Amino acid sequence: MVEVRVDGLALDIASNSPVVILKPVDQEGILPIWIGHYEAWAIAMELSGFSSKRPLTHDLIRELVSQLEANVARVEVTELRDQTFFAQIQLDTTHGRMTIDARPSDSIAIALKAKAPIFANEELLQPRAPEGRLSAINDPESLRERLRRINPEDFGNYSL
């Protein structure tokens, strides 16, 4: 596992889907993950330092974990299978470490809310051409070119 950070959010115009970009802390590479609009909005709010007047789902999860005297130890993006990314949230509890299966988008939002580190399987950071709809999904130059063509206004009409 390699520690990564959220390097940004973008909108893939071809699929009209938000993309969260993960970048290793101490090495080259990127990991784009296509996510839902709600999760992108939650991540964007956290990255920009905005908070809602009432707790949103990821805030609620962070608070539940805290009230149960646990903490989010780390989040891991573990694999890509059938064009679907998988992740785990690892909690430190009074009964030891617990691992919970979760979507990467939710895991990343929760990690940001909990100020927990995010890790990715090193194999996911290697450029490849997966089967199916996209080629060179995380080839840095291909992704840079696609992102260059995106206007900030295309990301969506989110009000904070």
- CA neighbor of 8 nearest in space, from 43, 58, 35, 60: 43
Beta bridge partners of 97: 92
Q: How confident is the model at residue 43 (pLDDT cuts 50, 70, 90)?
A: very high
Q: How many residues does the chain have?
A: 160
* CA distance from start to end of the chain: 34
Per CATH, domain 2-152 is 3.30.1540.20: no
Query: 75-108 pLDDT, tens per residue?
Result: 999 999 998 999 999 999 999 999 999 999 999 9
Dihedrals phi, psi of 10, to nearest 5 degrees: -145, 175
- pLDDT computed for residue 51 by the predictor: 81
| pLDDT higher than threshold 90 for residue 144 | no
Give me the chain's average pLDDT, please: 83
Domain boundaries, given as residue ranges, for the chain: 2-152
Percent of the chain topping pLDDT 70: 79
* Structure tokens, 31: 């990991």
CB atoms within 10 A of CB 139: 16
Q: Which range among 6-10, 32-36, 138-142 shows the weakest confidence by mean pLDDT?
A: 138-142
Percent of the chain topping pLDDT 90: 54
In angstroms, the CA 132 to CA 7 distance is 26
Query: 9-39 pLDDT, tens per residue?
Result: 998 888 888 999 999 998 888 999 999 999 9
- The more confidently predicted of residues 51 and 18 is 18
- pLDDT computed for residue 104 by the predictor: 96
Predicted TM-score (pTM) of the model is 0.77
